[in-house]
Chain A
Amino acid sequence: MNDSTGKAIQVEGVCKRYGHVSAVNDVSFDVRHGEFVSLLGPSGCGKTTTLRMIAGFVMASDGHIRINGRDVTYLPPEKREVGFVFQNYALWPHMTVAENVAFGLKLRKRDKAFIRNKVEESLAVTGLSGFEGRLPRQLSGGQQQRVALARALALEPQLLLMDEPLSNLDRALRVAMRRELKKLQQRLNMTTLYVTHDQEEALSMSDRVVIMSGGEIVRVARPLEVYEDPQSEFVADFVGTTNFFDGIVSDIGEGVATVKVGETLTLRVGNRISAAPGSAVRVLLRPERVRILAERREGANMLAARVDFIEYYGPTLRYTVALPGGEALFVEAHDIHGSAQIGETVWLSIEPDHFRLIDRKGAPAS
């Protein structure tokens, strides 16, 4: 069952063209057994197309797809034995919940008792016991979502593909289902490829995240790496909020470099600098990595700033501040009490290690 490579899915140089439009372009990645991998990217970047090629609903124009080592590129969907959960659930409207779940088992000619048990079990796992006789239209969105999941799980697939399964649910339910889904995936140790454009979902559920943009993969990494070390402007901007500064490396010292940004701003930047003095770099800074202080203290980077705007988000406050050179900066803070007022001058303290550098063309400079 498990091949020697330990890979559940191998996508190798896969392309999909629609006429002159290239929806997916030379995409390669692997999913290991038991792994939860997300495909993350903005709308229209080719996530669904990639997933549908793996399921066999669309044929790749180029490249190869392997499932458990077997080349399935030209195999029809019914021969691929993968579970699929659709964004719109795609429950068959003329079948009851139980019939929806049982359909695949009936096709496999399992005996009646087995099917009844399996349906019962799948519905129990997804918290739907008692809904057997309902029709899809008699269910809420969240319940329909569970039926779609139960339908896939009943066949005990080695591989589960999901296309934004939670995107039609309200926020509270989405967060709850996200956890349930993750727990279930871990309990069944089910290899999962999950499409989403919701970064929170991708970061919180995945073992690894595949970030796509314009039909291509821009990054494959663990959630922590993706967030803490985006390595490209696109990733930094798409996953979370990021402040950017364009500057020139003026001096390199012991693990700390000096970057001059414009006329007035000098940043002391730590962390794996390999850029030569004089090279143009882009400095990235997460808003929550900035500490906001009422008075000046000692520190590597201590910048005066004027508060221009304050947004209250509940758990956090977001300040928009202006540096003396005119640069605008987002700062996110947790301490709601004793917060600064609009128009006041505050001090920003930034640890050198909290900056990330990329070169101006967007590639990592470290």
Chain B
Amino acid sequence: MKARNAALLLAPAALALTIFVILPLMWVVRTSFNHTVDGAYMVSAFTFENYTRFLGSGWYLVNTLWFSIRVAILTTAISVLLGYPVALYIAGTRGVQRNVLMTMVLSPLLIGLVTLVYGWIVIFRGGGLLNSLMIALRVYDEPVRYMWDLKGVVILLVYIGMPYIVLSLLDSIERINPSFVEAARNVGASRWRAFWSITFPLTMPGLYAGLVIVFTLNFSAFAVPLMVGATDTQMIGLVIYREALLNNDLPFASSLSVIMIAANATILLGMSFLFGKLILNRLEAKR
């Protein structure tokens, strides 16, 4: 009876998942083996040519796959470094102060991406806010190029990734019983030591969840590199978009998608293994 009710409740989600995720995915996998005739139409086939074209090309591997991974690692790492203290700080606030801070942190998610990018253009421009500020602070003398450059892409990906990191960390931090830290202080740990030995390990579930989301988003990012990137910021999501919609090479775009998903899955699996070994296996009840 109970199981049947649960199945009924799950049915719409299962249906949506099938229609919007599983079927398209199957179609993508199938298409990735098709052949493209020059002049832009595809014929049904079963060939690995799309895969060898990408995987056999050192240029693609370095400038697209490896490049995307590097950008994703870099931006995720910066988001964590910046987001962790922010989450810690917010966890200690209440009331109005907290609401203001939360709104600020969540703003990248509340403002549409296009508005966001236009806003950042004002900041990034040659004589824009960022350059004026940096020059005024004598960090550098000449305006630096942020717009249509990797720097702008990285800054924006970090900015958009932060809310996910902060939210998932905040959840973990607030689950920690305050007496855990008190107990550590009681047996002789300084604030600093109590943080590293108790608070930090106990926030790993939140950090892990945030990492998974932000890494995946940034690894497959396409809108930000499209709008802010340069000709050499060939992130894999952007390349897929170009092949599919501009070059109309669906089989190649599909094979790139499969490779992207596989690469992401491999990296996440590695991360899951690492975090599990380090700490998560201890915290989660074995089923």
Contacts and interface: CB of A to CB of B under 8 A. Distances in A.
Interface of A: 55-57, 76-78, 81-84, 86, 88, 90-94, 103-104, 107-108, 135, 137, 151-152, 155
A107 B188 contact: yes
B185 A90 contact: no
A78 B189 contact: yes
Given A56-B185, A103-B184, A104-B187, 19 more contacts: A55-B182, A55-B186, A57-B182, A77-B182, A78-B188, A78-B189, A78-B190, A84-B186, A88-B179, A90-B177, A90-B179, A90-B183, A92-B183, A93-B180, A94-B201, A94-B202, A103-B189, A107-B188, A155-B187
A155 B197 CA distance: 18
Contact of B283 (A77, A78, A94): A94
B283 A93 contact: yes
Contacts of A55: 182, 186
Query: Which of B186, B189, B193, B282 gathers most chain A CB within 10 Å?
Result: B186
Nearest to A52: B182
A107 B183 CA distance: 13
B182 A90 contact: yes
Interface of B: 177, 179-180, 182-191, 193, 197-198, 201-202, 279, 282-283, 285
B75 to A, nearest CB: 28
Contacts of B180: 90, 92-93
A330 B188 CA distance: 51
Contacts of B185: 56-57, 76-78
A147 B171 CA distance: 28
A346 to B, nearest CB: 52
A108 B193 CA distance: 12
Contacts of B282: 93-94, 135
A90 B186 CA distance: 11
B177 A88 contact: yes
B187 A151 contact: yes
A195 B24 CA distance: 63
Contact of B193 (A84, A94, A107, A135): A107
A94 B186 contact: no
Contact of B197 (A57, A78, A103, A137): A103
B183 A86 contact: yes
Nearest to A102: B187
B197 to A, nearest CB: 7
Query: Which of B182, B185, B188, B191 gathers most chain A CB within 10 Å?
Result: B188
Nearest to A151: B187
B270 to A, nearest CB: 21
A166 B162 CA distance: 44
Contacts of B184: 92, 103
Given A93-B283, A94-B283, A135-B282, A104 B188 contact: yes
Contact of A108 (B177, B182, B188, B191): B188
